[in-house]
Every structure is written in C-alpha cells, then in structure tokens.
Amino acid sequence: MLHDNPHHATAAGSSSNNGGATDYYAVPAGATTLLDLIEHKEMPYGIGEAFASLYRMNDKDTRERNLNKVLFYCQRALDAEVAGIKKPDRQLRGSGSSSKQPNSQVNQEDDT
C-alpha cells in the first residue's frame, strides 16, 4: 500500500528525499496554468522556456525541436551560473556567449 511506504512523504510533508512525493512537488494553490507554476517558482525566462518545452513534448512542434530548445536554454543557464551571471537572459543576449543554438529552427524569442 502506498501510504505504508516509509520513503513517501509523511503527513507533515517530510521525506527521505529518495525521489518520492515531497512538499516541493505540490502544485501551489490557485495554479491553473503552466505559467502559474513558472511564476510561482520564479524561473528566469530561459528556464521557463525549457520547462514549457518539456511539458509540451508531445503537443507542439517535434520532439527533437523541443529537446533542442531544452538543451539550448539549459546550456545558457549553466553558462551563466558558471560565469556568475545572475540574470543570464539580459546579460548573455547578444554578448557572444559560448553556447550555440543546437538547431537552426530554435528561436529564443519563440512563444511558449
């Protein structure tokens, strides 16, 4: 039975952090759209784009295009993290960042 598993979250929300259910996976009250989740987690633009691309993996564009978008935006975020840049979407845009778009179809200004 699921509730008997000691590795799942308890009523208080604690867990042994084994990948099972935890409080941080709970959807915030009032969230009805993906944008609500992105805003709630205060994701920067690029990470929000990657998150949205994963969410719509089978719904929009091709799987390859969505995966390329995830790689592109996550690489930008990683480059910024390593460089100590707090707002990569503003400071890396057009600055000659070492990350390259993996697919010519990917457009960083693409709608989610």
Residue range of the domain that includes 4:
1-28
Residue 46 shares a structural domain with residue 15: no
- Same domain for 23 and 44, yes or no, is no
* Structure tokens that stand for 5 in this block: 């598993």
State how far the alpha carbon of 101 is from the alpha carbons of 65, 68, 75, 91, 105, in Å.
Answer: 11, 8, 9, 17, 9
Residue 45 has pLDDT above 90, yes or no: yes
pLDDT digits (tens, 9 = 90+) for 11-43: 444 445 676 778 878 899 999 999 999 999 999
Residues contacting residue 60 through CB under 8 Å, at least 6 positions apart: 66
Q: How many domains does the chain have?
A: 2
pTM over cut 0.75:
no
* d(C-alpha 52, C-alpha 54), whole Å: 5
Assess whether 24 and 55 both reside in one domain. Answer: no
